[in-house]
């Protein structure tokens, strides 16, 4: 039903992008630090943002601009979060004004985002000086999406970009996106930056509902380190150029759109968890047999967030006791005597716990299973028929290294 | 008012202890793994236990035995948690029976605790075989308390032992204790093992109330890794041998007792945080100017639990943005614009954030301050007059090393 396509944030019709080094990141001239995404046609847009009480200035400005109902562009920098920093809102607004002036639109039609160090004044002048050159680079191409994806990276080791297409209402509709996020990643809104574009014709209400629904099932189900950042933003722009009949209610076409959006966000979320700072393993934890999806989600999140479990996976140690321990402090009630735990990967599957007790298992096989890049923890609790999957990563020496000296 | 004394868990009159290697820990014959604490006179006793849904068998047995109202001894092993393990309750009971038989009391008068790996069958026969020799070693001495303190250690690098005395009701009353806990430490009950003894004459109700009050202010305010274990137990035995008039209500003598108990638990809790697995820094976070103590506690706990903040302290990096970020996802409402943050230690103090914004500060001095073993994070939020202090530690390469290969 879905087809993966290239082009990232430029996959959908009418979207152009660019990325450039303008000087926010001072240490490395090779690292791009300013991204621009522009739609040729006016867009409806929606966003989901951090629940942290301490919100970065661009989050506040973007929320305000989304109320206008019409969006043309997104400008985003890396290297500085513009959070808890002097003149935060003014500087975020200046970024919007610079983009608007180069693009010939109104500043209120520009969304803005920042990521990087908290608490330092944003060098907004280098951004303003760089915007005209950046705008000159705008194009609709895979290379342009790639440049924008790189320009929002901080400690990320791989760029995160994905796009897919499907037929909705007889027309080919495309959704693509770029994302960043490697540390300060914890499920409570999409703990990261993510910009999505689509040429689908869809009303603003339906776009907002779809984004909220999909973020809850994808970005809100990943965790790297339990820290919910001040800057998390996930925005989607829809310009309607696909020409499909506009989606205005929760009908079959809405469901088709949600499923496609899910595909894109699911892929970007997994990329993010896998590229968790210093991570060597992507950990996928599925809880089955739960009384409700909420119960399954709470237990699964507790497992992927456990530092001890993460350290065990780093050591390729089938220490399922830590899985049970983390389940037990999830806040959910369940009968420990009915719990089943298995580890699985491309190398095989091994049942390690049944009826809440350890079972004899092949330690060599378990080690082999846990040595793979992608590891599954499969849990069954026999309380009902609901399930949920969350994603995380292991904690490694490199996580400590990266975060012991990030600011200086 | 308080005098620190030696003797640990044997400081109070009528308490004897012993520690021995009996073979639960198989890797190292030098490491003690079984502890016994005995009172010559019958005790009233109280306990506070893990809130984890998955509770170890000895926790269940000890809770039951505390209902009897009379306690004579505590038996505890390290090397195996007897949690999620076959025949768990039966094996915990067998430990009680072995101790009772050697001491000439009833099994219901014995409390039991275990700590170590989850999910493996406890080798209860080696414990049963070892108890007679262990009982023969019982004595009231600093060396005996030391042996018991060592026998409950797992990844701890230093033993935790403390005792203090004060005059209550005209008599010298002593309280002492031993504790263990280095990983799986997170505030939700005293996330560890702790055994306290006192010769104070106090009713069972008042003892229970005092323990609950003090644990809430001490052990429940430390965090090493956010993992609340299956075995956490903190028990206190009071044999009344000090001869003071029995404390039966919340009068001045009760307050004196609580303050002394606080002194002992506070010291043991700090020892535990400082000896967090792999830790190099004890981190003390105080939140002042809060609307309530609960608000101050929630914010302080969120800060000491932040993996990113812990990594920054490891790197001696005054990255106060991470402090604000962790405050912001504590679940408490406050005005970020009124926040003040300072770092302090024996090397000095430096204000890094005022009115929610970074202030210029001496980076060299900040680095020096954060290089000390004990570091304070002082936060003021200007919402009211309440405050709270919590304790944690940094996260280091050694934490990963210890926990990447603990079980095998």
Closest CA to B175 of B132, B218, B138, B134: B218
Instruction: Look at residue A228 in the predicted model and tell me its pLDDT.
Output: 65
The residue of chain A nearest to residue B358, with distances taken between CA atoms, is A119
Query: Are the C-beta atoms of B11 and B171 separated by less than 8 Å?
Result: no
Interface of A with B in 116-135 (CB under 8 A): 117-121
Instruction: Look at residue B2 in the predicted model and tell me its pLDDT.
Output: 58
Give me the sign of the Cα torsion angle B60, B62, B65, B69: negative
Between chains, do B230 and A54 touch, taking CB under 8 Å as contact?
A: no
Query: Burial level of B106, CB count in 10 A (0-12/13-18/19+)?
Result: middle
Pick the CATH number of A3-274 from 3.40.50.150, 3.40.605.10, 3.40.50.2300, 3.60.70.12: 3.60.70.12
Give me the sign of the Cα torsion angle A383, A387, A389, A390: negative
Q: Whole-prediction pTM value?
A: 0.79
Continuous H helices in B218-292: 252-274
Instruction: Look at residue B184 in the predicted model and tell me its pLDDT.
Output: 57
Is B376 strand, coil or helix?
Answer: strand
Between chains, do A227 and B120 touch, taking CB under 8 Å as contact?
A: no
Instruction: Look at residue B279 in the predicted model and tell me its pLDDT.
Output: 82
The residue of chain A nearest to residue B187, with distances taken between CA atoms, is A329
- List every span in chain A annotated with CATH 3.10.20.340: 282-404
Q: How far is CA B157 from the centre of its chain?
A: 15
- List every span in chain B annotated with CATH 3.60.70.12: 3-274
Catalytic site residues of A?
A: 191
Q: How far is CA B30 from the centre of its chain?
A: 24
Is A71 strand, coil or helix?
Answer: strand
Q: How far apart are the first and last CA of chain A?
A: 48
Alpha-carbon distance of A103 to A39, in angstroms, equals 10
Instruction: Give the largest Cα separation in chain B, rounded.
Output: 68
What are the φ/ψ torsions at residue A93 (nearest 5 degrees)? -65, -40
* B357–chain A Cβ distance below 8 A for any pair: yes
The residue of chain B nearest to residue A355, with distances taken between CA atoms, is B84
**Strands annotated E in A87-159:** 110-117
Alpha-carbon distance of A71 to A242, in angstroms, equals 17
Instruction: Look at residue B225 in the predicted model and tell me its pLDDT.
Output: 63
| Helix axes of B307-314 and B293-305: crossing angle, nearest 10 degrees | 60
Between chains, do B325 and A229 touch, taking CB under 8 Å as contact?
A: yes
Between chains, do B317 and A119 touch, taking CB under 8 Å as contact?
A: no
* B84–chain A Cβ distance below 8 A for any pair: yes
Alpha-carbon distance of A194 to A236, in angstroms, equals 8
Closest CA to A175 of A221, A207, A204: A207
Read off the pLDDT of residues A274-308 as tens digits, 9 standing for 90 and up: 877 778 899 999 999 999 999 999 999 889 988 88
Task: List the structure tokens of B153.
Answer: 């250690």
- R_g of chain A computed on alpha carbons: 22
Q: Which residues of chain A have pLDDT under 70?
A: 1-2, 182-191, 224-229, 405-408
Does the domain at A282-404 match CATH 3.10.20.340? Answer given as yes
Query: Are the C-beta atoms of B243 and B362 separated by less than 8 Å?
Result: no
The residue of chain B nearest to residue A328, with distances taken between CA atoms, is B53
ipTM: 0.71
Q: Which residues of chain B have pLDDT under 70?
A: 1-2, 182-191, 224-229, 405-408
Pairing mode, strands B110-117 and A386-393: unpaired
Place of tokens 């003598």: B253
User: Looking at chain A, how many residues does it have?
Assistant: 408
Task: List the structure tokens of A40.
Answer: 């040729």
Alpha-carbon distance of A262 to A276, in angstroms, equals 21
| Helix axes of B307-314 and A397-404: crossing angle, nearest 10 degrees | 70
* B322–chain A Cβ distance below 8 A for any pair: yes
Q: Of B186, B336, B358, which is closest to A53 when you measure between CB atoms? A: B336
* B81–chain A Cβ distance below 8 A for any pair: yes
Alpha-carbon distance of A371 to A389, in angstroms, equals 21
Query: Are the C-beta atoms of B391 and B269 separated by less than 8 Å?
Result: yes
Chain B residues close to A408, C-beta within 8 Å:
315, 317, 363
Query: Are the C-beta atoms of A248 and A257 separated by less than 8 Å?
Result: no
Between chains, do A325 and B227 touch, taking CB under 8 Å as contact?
A: yes
* B329–chain A Cβ distance below 8 A for any pair: yes
């Amino acid at each position: 039903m879905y087809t993966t396509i290239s082009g990232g944030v430029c996959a959908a019709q009418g979207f152009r992008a660019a990325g450039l080094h303008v000087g926010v990141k001072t240490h490395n001239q090779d690292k791009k630090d300013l991204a621009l995404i522009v739609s040729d046609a006016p867009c409806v847009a929606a966003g989901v943002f951090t629940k942290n009480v301490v919100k970065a200035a661009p989050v506040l400005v973007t929320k305000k601009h989304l109320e206008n109902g019409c969006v043309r562009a997104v400008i985003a920098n890396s290297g500085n979060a513009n959070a808890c920093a002097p003149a935060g809102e003014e500087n975020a607004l200046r970024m919007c004004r610079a983009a608007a002036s180069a693009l010939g639109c109104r500043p209120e039609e520009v969304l803005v985002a920042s990521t990087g160090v908290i608490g330092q004044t944003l060098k907004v002048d280098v951004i303003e000086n760089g915007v005209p050159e950046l705008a000159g680079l705008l194009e609709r191409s895979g290379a342009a999406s790639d440049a924008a994806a790189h320009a929002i990276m901080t400690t990320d080791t791989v760029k995160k970009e994905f796009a897919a297409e499907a037929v909705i209402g007889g027309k080919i509709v495309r959704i693509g996106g770029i994302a960043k996020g490697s540390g300060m990643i914890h499920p409570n809104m999409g703990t990261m930056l993510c910009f999505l574009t689509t040429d689908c014709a869809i009303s603003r209400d339906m776009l907002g509902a779809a984004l909220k629904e999909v973020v809850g099932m994808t970005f809100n189900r990943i965790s790297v380190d339990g820290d919910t950042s001040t800057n998390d933003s996930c925005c989607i722009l829809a310009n309607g150029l696909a020409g499909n009949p506009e989606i205005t209610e929760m009908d079959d076409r809405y469901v088709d759109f949600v499923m496609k959006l899910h595909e894109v966000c699911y892929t970007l979320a997994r990329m993010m968890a896998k590229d968790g700072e210093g991570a060597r393993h992507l950990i996928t934890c599925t809880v089955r047999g739960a009384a409700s999806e909420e119960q399954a989600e709470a237990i699964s999140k507790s497992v992927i967030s456990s530092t001890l479990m993460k350290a065990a996976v780093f050591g390729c140690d089938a220490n399922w006791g830590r899985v049970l321990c983390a389940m037990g402090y999830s806040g959910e009630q369940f009968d420990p005597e009915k719990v089943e735990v298995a580890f699985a990967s491309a190398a095989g599957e091994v049942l390690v716990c049944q009826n809440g007790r350890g079972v004899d298992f092949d330690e060599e096989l378990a080690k082999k299973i846990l040595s793979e890049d992608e590891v599954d923890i499969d849990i069954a609790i026999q309380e009902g028929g609901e399930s949920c999957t969350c994603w995380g990563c292991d904690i490694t020496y490199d996580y400590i290294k990266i975060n012991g000296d990030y600011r200086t």
